């Protein structure tokens, strides 16, 4: 397996993981509401605020981070994702958990945007569409498979 193939599969797995956490929350809203002792409407803020944050940060942050070393941005984005997901797993305060989720959402478009760009640049031009589509498979799988997997484990 070539180095570029490994990098593409890592980006695909990263986009799958990030999208699974976003969409997976939809399948466990009743459990989240019960855990935090809030209504399902309030628990829905986990999904709504995530989506709003992605929409806002997606307009600006990929452009801001485009001039920074891509490896550092990848590692930083994934580190933030892992750290704040881990922290939020142990929180019992609803509002602190929301803040962790918003921080994760800020960096989602940065990671996904750079993944798609890098996937097209690290291969020969005639293979660019193929490698970009592999990263998009991670996005699609995260949306489609993320909800049932998350609901199954909760």
Domain residue limits at 141 = 3-149
- CA-closest candidate to residue 48, choices 16, 30, 28, 25: 25
**Residue 154 included in any domain:** no
Q: How many domains does the chain have?
A: 1
**Residue 71 included in any domain:** yes
Domain at 55, CATH number: 1.20.1250.20
pTM, 2 dp: 0.85
- CA-closest candidate to residue 50, choices 113, 105, 99, 93: 105
| pLDDT per residue of the chain (154 residues) written in tens, 0 to 9 | 688 889 899 889 988 988 888 888 888 899 999 999 999 999 999 999 999 999 999 999 988 888 888 889 888 998 999 999 999 989 999 999 999 999 999 999 999 888 888 898 888 888 889 999 999 998 888 888 877 887 777 6
Looking at residue 21, its pLDDT comes to 80
**Residue 28 included in any domain:** yes
**Residue 74 included in any domain:** yes
**Residue 85 included in any domain:** yes
């Amino acid at each position: 397996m070539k180095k570029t193939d490994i990098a593409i599969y890592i980006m695909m797995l990263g986009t799958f993981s990030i999208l699974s956490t976003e969409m997976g929350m939809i399948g466990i809203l009743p459990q989240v509401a019960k855990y935090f002792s809030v209504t399902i409407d309030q628990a829905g803020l986990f999904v709504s605020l995530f989506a709003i944050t992605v929409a806002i940060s997606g307009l600006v942050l990929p452009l801001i981070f485009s001039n920074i070393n891509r490896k550092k941005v990848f590692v930083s984005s994934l580190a933030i994702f892992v750290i704040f997901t881990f922290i939020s797993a142990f929180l019992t305060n609803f509002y602190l958990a929301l803040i962790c989720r918003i921080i994760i959402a800020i960096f989602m478009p940065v990671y996904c945007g750079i993944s798609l760009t890098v996937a097209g640049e690290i291969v020969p031009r005639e293979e660019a569409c193929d490698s970009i589509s592999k990263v998009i498979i991670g996005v699609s799988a995260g949306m489609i498979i993320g909800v049932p997997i998350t609901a199954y484990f909760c």
